[in-house]
Amino acid sequence: MKQVPLRARLVIVCAVALSVAGCQTSEPGSATGSIRQIIGTDIIGAHGETIADQNRIDLTVEGPCAARVFSAAECIEHRRSSVRRRAELRAE
């Protein structure tokens, strides 16, 4: 049987070690915090100048609320604020 050269054995050992290290599992990270930082929370409770503006704001907030990026309390506060703003816009 032919003996494998030392250099080739080292390459094989390193490749196996790197493969095993790459297959290790780690705890899942939280994407919610990162997304929340990107989106921000300034839009919660924002008031549109028209009903169409308010619709766009509500649609923008709807996704993060559905994905639970914003807390339930923040989403409820936005809904209340939106209802009040829509009433104001209809009264104008």
More confident residue, 27 or 5: 5
Cα–Cα nearest to 42, from 55, 60, 24: 60
Dist. CA 60–CA 70, nearest whole Å: 12
pLDDT in tens, 14-30: 666 666 566 665 565 56
pLDDT in tens, 16-68: 666 656 666 556 556 667 777 777 777 888 889 999 999 999 998 998 999 89
Structural domain boundaries of the chain?
A: 31-91
